[in-house]
Structures are given as C-alpha cells and as structure tokens.
Amino acid sequence: MKRSKIVGLGHYVPTNIVTNDDLAQRMNTSDEWIQERTGIKERRYIVPGKDTGATMGAAAARMALENANLSADEIDFIILGTLSPDMDFPGTGVLVQRELGLDKKGIGALDIRNQCSGFVYGLSIADQFIRTGMYKNILLIGTEIHSTGLEYNDRGRHISVIFGDGAGAAVISATDEQDKGILTTHLHADGSFAEELAVAAPSSTQSPRLTPEMLEDGSVYPVMNGQLVFKNAVRRFPEVIREALKATDYQPEDIDLLIPHQANLRISEAVRRFMGLPEEKVYNNIMRYGNTTAASIPIAMSEAWQEGKIKEGDLICLAAFGSGFTWASALIRW
C-alpha cells in the first residue's frame, strides 16, 4: 500500500514587522502585557497592494516545491486552509492554483475551513487521497491575513495582539516506504463552542449581508472567550497527542519534536509540561509571528526543518486546537 510523506516545506511572511510597542501606539496595551500573557514579541502584517492570501500561499508553495525538487507541473491536487479568504467566494485555492500557473492544467483545488486546525485537517485529507492511490503529489497550503480584520481598540485588544499574517506550505507525496511518512492523523470538533471564537458578520443569514450597523457594533470583528479557549486548548492538545501515540504504540518520550499550533506560548508551555517533554522537544516561533492560524504549523515546520531540527528518522508530532472548536493531531516518521 502507498504511504504519504512530506517531501518539501516552505513559508512566506510579509516584510512588515509590527512590534508590541507599535501596537501600543494604536491602542491601550503594552509590550509587557502582551509578552507576559502570550509570549509574542512581534508579528507580520501584509504590505497592502503587495501581499494577498493567494500571493503569500503561492510564495510558500514555490519554496516547498523547490525544497521537494519538484516542478509545479508535477502537482496533482491542491488543498488550502484559511479562515481569511481573499474573496467571499471562490476560495483562495483556485487563486493560488492560478498564481502557480496551474490553471490551464485543471487540477482540483479544495478549500477547507478548519481555522487553527486547518493544516492538520488538510494533512489528513492529503494522506487519505494518497493512500487510496488517487493522487501522487499534493500541495497543502495554509495562508492567513488577520491584520485587516482586527479591532485596534479596548474592545478587541485581547484578540488583536495575538494574531499575525503569513503562509506555509508542504508538498506531500506517495512513497512505498512502509515505515516512513504520515503514520496517523486524528480529527475532532465540538460545535457547541462555535460562537466562543468566531466572526459573526458578514453573514448569509442576513440581508444585506453587511450593514453599517455591523461595522458599528463590531460583529465584523472576531469575538473570543479567551479563558474558555485557553482551558479547552490545554485539555485537548494533550488528549489528541496521546490519541496519536496510542494509535501507533509510541510513548511521549519517543517524540523527537512536537510542533504545536502557535496559539499562545503559555498554551504550548502547559502542553509541554503535561506531556513531560523537555523544552528542546517543542518548537515555538510565536514570539516572532504571533498566531497565524492555518499557516502557523507549516511556517513552524518549515523553519524547524531549515534550522536542522527535523532530521531523517525523527518522530514528529503535530497538534492543533482552535475555533469550532476543532482539534487534531498527526504523527510523522521523517
């Protein structure tokens, strides 16, 4: 049977660096508060007129293709995760397909809406398509623009300080090696928490979908029950990591590197402690990029790989939690 493995990783972050002090000039916050509660020092915001979700996704994809030694023409299918599409419809997947010059080839482009868990959900979908023999090379992208959708005032400050923009990508290919690649994936959701981390408007349930009142009352901006998100995240991350370990008969100490969704440094630190892992076995880059939702795991994985922290034969664990609530994990033998 075919297995799937990640053969190339890439990422793109905008050149525009926004520090905590920069944010403190725009709203009532401080570097001290942000670092203490989230670990974030700075994040990237798009350069208007230059960066879009599609151009960032395509840049990350080109880097992943180069690292995989594949040309875009060899890709059979695209999966793209984002909660911040460039257009209401169509999805950003077709825009990235066009950016990569694959439009005339006609390959499929699937958009998925699983927020912070988007990359791991996408990885699981790619794995199933490859195991069944339907596709050989799949491009999986997470791309996110938060900066244009945040509220820089007292009402939104606990959310605005967290998020940043960027994109990450992976090329996933079929392999005959039975002991390598994606070993297992686990996907979960609990819709009873849908409104606890959400953006309510524009909404297809209302006509017109966007009104001046929505701008005024803030329903176009994200709401987040921060403490509830925190509580559920620190429970679900370890739970879904243990589920992946159980499915493959591994123990926490077998993990060479855990790459958690970069939600908040305090969440990653709590998860590390619950799992009994030493600091060097958990990769974090939220300090530099904030939370980039569907892009956070592939950006982190790409950087970890560049830094030589992912080596041949390593057992890599990915885990995510976010809006929905959704949560997911994957174990990969590199």
38 binds ligand ACO (CB under 6 A): yes
Of the candidate spans 48-56, 74-82, 129-137, 221-229, the one that interacts with ligand ACO by CB under 6 A turns out to be 221-229
284 contacts 297 by C-beta, under 8 angstroms: no
- Edge-to-edge strands of the sheet including 315-322? 181-189, 326-333, 315-322, 257-260
Task: Specify the residue, 181 or 322, whose C-beta has the smaller distance to ligand ACO.
Answer: 322
328 contacts 117 by C-beta, under 8 angstroms: yes
226 binds ligand ACO (CB under 6 A): yes
Residue 116 annotated as catalytic: yes
Amino acid identity of 329?
Answer: S
Residues 286-315 that bind ligand ACO (CB under 6 A): 291, 293
Residue 188 annotated as catalytic: no
Rounded to a whole number of angstroms, the minimum distance from the CB of residue 71 to ligand ACO is 34
- DSSP character string of 241-289: HHHHHHHHT--GGG-SEEEE--S-HHHHHHHHHHHT--GGGB---HHHH
Q: Which residue of 65, 110, 229, 300 would you call a contact of ligand ACO, by CB under 6 A?
A: 229
> Among all residues, whose Cβ is closest to ligand ACO?
226
Rounded to a whole number of angstroms, the minimum distance from the CB of residue 313 to ligand ACO is 31
Residue 317 annotated as catalytic: no
Rounded to a whole number of angstroms, the minimum distance from the CB of residue 170 to ligand ACO is 19
Of the candidate spans 8-16, 211-219, 248-256, 261-269, the one that interacts with ligand ACO by CB under 6 A turns out to be 261-269
Tokens 């953006």 sit on residue: 199
- Please name which of 230, 229, 300 lies closest in space to residue 261, comparing C-alpha atoms: 300
Q: Tell me how far apart the alpha carbons of residues 257 and 134 are, in angstroms, rounded to a whole number.
A: 30
Q: Which residue of 16, 22, 37, 196 would you call a contact of ligand ACO, by CB under 6 A?
A: 37
Rounded to a whole number of angstroms, the minimum distance from the CB of residue 254 to ligand ACO is 27
- Please name which of 287, 255, 288, 292 lies closest in space to residue 271, comparing C-alpha atoms: 255
Rounded to a whole number of angstroms, the minimum distance from the CB of residue 51 to ligand ACO is 20
224 contacts 246 by C-beta, under 8 angstroms: no
- Token pair belonging to 184: 């297992």
Rounded to a whole number of angstroms, the minimum distance from the CB of residue 282 to ligand ACO is 16
- Please name which of 226, 285, 293, 268 lies closest in space to residue 41, comparing C-alpha atoms: 285
Binding mask 88-107 for ligand ACO (x = CB under 6 A): --------------------
Q: Which residues pair with 5 in a beta bridge?
A: 173
Q: Which residue of 232, 323, 326, 329 would you call a contact of ligand ACO, by CB under 6 A?
A: 323
Tokens 């482009």 sit on residue: 109
Q: Please pick, among 11, 116, 137, 285, the residue that the annotation labels catalytic.
A: 116
227 binds ligand ACO (CB under 6 A): yes
Count of residues near ligand ACO by CB under 6 A: 23
Residues 109-168 that bind ligand ACO (CB under 6 A): 115-116, 157-158, 161-162
Task: Specify the residue, 181 or 324, whose C-beta has the smaller distance to ligand ACO.
Answer: 324
Q: Please pick, among 261, 284, 285, 317, the residue that the annotation labels catalytic.
A: 261
Q: What pairing do the DSSP bridges indicate for beta strands 108-112 and 77-81? A: parallel
Q: Is 140 helix (H, G, I), strand (E, B) or coil?
A: strand
Q: Which residues pair with 181 in a beta bridge?
A: 333
Tabulate helix, strand, coil % of the chain (nearest 5). 40, 25, 35
What residues are annotated to the active site? 116, 261, 291
Q: Which residues bind ligand ACO (CB under 6 A)?
A: 29, 33, 37-38, 115-116, 157-158, 161-162, 197, 224, 226-227, 229-230, 263-264, 267, 291, 293, 322-323
